[in-house]
């Protein structure tokens, strides 16, 4: 449903995980209506749980006083072994966890997260040049 295209440009994505995400009712309706923004979103382990911070889900305009905070921390639902694997990986220098997709599987909201290492400027340029070459070859 939503892709974080910027993550593919900014990071080298190493390993991906599918996680459930705990949303309120107004957040679910707002996600279905559109306008989700991944900018500045990342996941971190807090109190043994993986939490997604910085994900912008706009306020649902038809909700009453019971609306949600647009950039609140949201709990990601993973198996304990997966959380432990991510925790061990995050101890390495230079690794982070970023969301790459937000979608619905049946009636459940899911987030694809990835262990990622930041790209240097020259890596970004090389990736962009490769994309340009592929695009030009397709056009021929």
Residue 127 has what pLDDT? 87
Lowest mean pLDDT: which of 11-20, 60-69, 121-130? 60-69
Residue pLDDT, tens place only, 66-115:
788 889 999 999 999 999 999 999 998 889 999 999 999 999 999 999 99
Q: Report the domain count for the chain.
A: 1
Domain range for 90: 2-139
Spatial contact of 45 and 90, defined as CB atoms under 8 Å apart: yes
Average pLDDT of the residues in 12-33: 93
Residue 93 has what pLDDT? 87
Nearest one of 57, 56, 53, 55 to 44, comparing CA atoms: 53
* CATH (domain of 81): 2.40.280.10
């Amino acid at each position: 449903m939503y892709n974080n295209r910027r993550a593919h440009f900014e990071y080298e994505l190493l390993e991906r995980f599918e996680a459930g995400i705990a949303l309120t009712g107004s957040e679910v309706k707002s996600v279905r209506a559109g306008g989700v923004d991944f900018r500045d979103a990342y996941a971190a382990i807090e109190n043994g749980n993986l939490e997604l911070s910085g994900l912008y889900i706009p306020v649902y305009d038809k909700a009453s006083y019971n609306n949600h905070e647009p950039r609140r921390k949201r709990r990601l639902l993973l198996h304990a072994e997966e959380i432990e694997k991510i925790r061990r990986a995050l101890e390495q220098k230079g690794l982070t966890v970023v969301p790459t997709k937000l979608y619905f599987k049946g009636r459940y909201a899911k987030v694809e997260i990835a262990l990622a290492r930041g790209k240097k400027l020259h890596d970004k340029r090389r990736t962009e040049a490769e994309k340009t070459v592929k695009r030009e070859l397709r056009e021929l």
